[in-house]
Structure 1
Amino acid sequence: MTYYANPAGLPPQTDLLTDRAIVTEAYTVIPRGVLRDIVTSVLPDWTGTRTWILNRPVPGGPTTFAQYVMEVAPGGGSGRPEAQKTVEGFVFVVDGELTVSIEGETGILAPGGFAYAPAGAVWQVRNDGTAAARFHWIRKAYEPLEGYTAKPVFGNEQDIEPSPMPDTDNKWRTTRMLPVDDLAYDMHINVVTFEPGASIPFAETHVMEHGLYVLEGKAVYHLNGDWVEVQAGDYMALRAFCPQACYAGGPGNFRYLLYKDVNRQIML
């Protein structure tokens, strides 16, 4: 199993400026060629680390989450990655090896490895390896629910049996990394897989926001009436009720990391 990890750097001066980056009232597409050194940030309480911020709450866009691509050099990391006690976090490794400790439980995450840190948890991240570690960090303001307590979760998506979507002959399947039947969790993080030629056969239009990072392959995505080509390393941020569907283009599988907010009443 392979996962695209953005190489950064800068394009040569001879390249054309035309690209697929677009921001609309319903969605944003950030192509992989946009994630260059010039747009990185250095975060407080992190050492040996640079960050590409893929999504933050902005008017007209998704408002429930932030998503980063993190690159941690050997020996780098953070003893206090999350400064807000009300914010939960999810880490998904795409390259290298990362050691994550949450409330005294430690996991060494290889590509495909993930960890969930509940809001208010004491946790740390470090790179004990000899090469850079690259991972996604998804942050969400947790919405507490009386009688339910979210707990740390560790795993690797390659060890989880994907669930086939109904009536698709197993050509569209979803790997669910957080418990889907436990109301303690107010977000789902999945890896979605389409075999070549498989599709979402209708325009999904729903209240859940999405962050989609393409891990592998290519497809044509239908977003709010527009057809957009995407490939490994591209990122899409979809606001609530953005109509969405796709066709997987082949020749290999099309796979992406998916965030969505779930399991809570709409507060008025």
Structure 2
Amino acid sequence: MEPNPSARTYYAPTGGLPGQNELLTGRAVFTEAYAVIPKGVMRDIVTSRLPFWERTRCWVIARPLTGFAETFAQYIMEVEPGGGSERPEPDAQAEAVLFVVEGELTVHLDGTLHRMRPGGYAFLPPKSRWTARNEGSAPVRFHWIRKAYEAVDGVPAPEAFFTKEEDVPPTPMPNTDGKWATTRFVEPDDMRHDMHVTIVTFEPGAVIPFAETHVMEHGLYVLEGKAVYRLNRDWVEVEAGDFMWLRAFCPQACYAGGPGRFRYLLYKDVNRHAKLWVSGSGR
């Protein structure tokens, strides 16, 4: 049977350790402009535990770093059956996106139950009263992207919502015949939101045909396929399970080499003025 070209797949790490007979050489790199955390380094030894989360571990793949990318944190959460948290978020000012890549996550928000399966997406504004639980029989793995919400006087905070990728039609980029498209879960002109988490899809052979250079920081987790990605001065091969972390103004481009689609989960900060002073400067 021919594979369904519209079927969606989502890579999820499983941990473990490489054998003692394997080579040390890998593709991980951290530079002044970008970092690449390949799937091969997301092992048991680098996982973290979090307060008030039971039967849970996570890979912290991004966190604010002064002088690098400063706006967000991104975790890959792994929750065993029966695990979860009644107090998941310790920071009342933090907003979040959850995106499930494997298993089933049950989220309670303000008394309403939401069952999230692969492709499930949730936006949780600051001060949300939510809990998370794995009520299934297999581990659930999901991305948790956290950002300190930047409130603006006169602009209301966004509301929580739950959806799934299959219910959001992708938006083709102009003049690409649909070979480069973005699944946008939030309208770009909605000023309530100060971050976008989208899914970008390239068909084989599609490209970003110029070196994007912009103020937005990025986290790019490859959900499916492989490509050659331009990061600052370097062309880097990436594949499903790899994570790219870009500071502001890092030039970037992409060539999707195939044989299948290349897709990634993308974070960027949007819709706010640049800060003109740092906290504690006396201003």
Same fold by TM (over 0.5)? yes
Which residue number in structure 1 is paired with residue 50 of structure 2?
A: 43
Count residues in correspondence: 268
**Partner residue, 1:210:** 218
Residue 13 of structure 2 corresponds to: 6
- Give the deviation of 1:175 after TM superposition: 0.3
Structure 2 Cα separation of the partners of residues 266 and 24 of structure 1 = 24
Question: What's the counterpart of residue 84 of structure 2?
Answer: 77
**1:121-160 pair list within 5 angstroms:** 121-147=128-154, 148-160=156-168
**Partners of 2:211 and 2:21 in 1: how far apart?**
39
1:247 paired to 2:271: no
Corresponding residue to 1:164 among 153, 161, 172: 172
Deviates more, 1:54-63 or 1:90-99: 54-63
How far residue 140 of structure 1 moved from its aligned partner, in angstroms, is 0.2
Identity over aligned residues, as a percent? Answer: 63
C-alpha displacement of 1:179: 3.3
Alpha-carbon contact 1:52-1:68 (below 8 Å) kept: yes
Q: Are 1:64 and 2:71 an aligned pair?
A: yes
Query: Is this contact kept in 2: 1:26–1:60, CA < 8 A?
Result: no
Q: CA deviation at 1:102?
A: 2.1
Q: SS where residue 18 of structure 2 aligns?
A: coil
Q: Report the TM-score when normalising by structure 2.
A: 0.93
- In structure 2, the residue matched to 1:238 is 246
Task: Report the AA paired with residue 238 of structure 2.
Answer: V
- Say which one has the larger Rg: 2
Question: Under a length normalisation based on structure 1, what TM-score does the superposition of the two structures give?
Answer: 0.98
Unaligned runs of 5+ in 2: 1-7, 277-283
Q: Does 1:265 align with 2:257?
A: no
In structure 1, the partner of 2:110 is: 103
TM-fit CA distance, 1:260? 0.3
Deviation of the 1:18 alpha carbon: 0.6
**Structure 2: how far apart are the matches of 1:64 and 1:29?**
18
RMSD, matched Cα: 0.9
- Counting only pairs closer than 5 Å after superposition, residues 16-31 of structure 1 correspond to structure 2 as 16-31=23-38
Correspondence for 1:195: 203
Q: Alignment partner for residue 119 of structure 1, among 126, 133, 145?
A: 126
TM-aligned CA deviation for residue 267 of structure 1: 2.2
Q: Shift of the alpha carbon at 1:149?
A: 1.9
State whether residues 99 and 107 of structure 1, in contact with CA within 8 Å, keep that contact through their aligned partners in structure 2: yes
Q: Residue 7 of structure 1: CA displacement? A: 1.9
Distance 1:179 1:146 in 2: 20
1:54 and 2:55 are equivalent in the alignment: no
Counterpart Cα distance in 2 of 1:261 and 1:214: 19
CA distance in 2 between counterparts of 1:189 and 1:24 reads 24
Deviation at 1:182, TM superposition (A): 1.4
Q: Are the equivalent residues in 2 in contact too, given 1:224–1:242 (CA < 8 A)?
A: yes
Deviations 1:145-181 (A, max 9, x none): 2231211010001111000001111000000122322
- Mean CA deviation greater in 246-255 or 58-67: 58-67
1:66 partner amino acid:
A
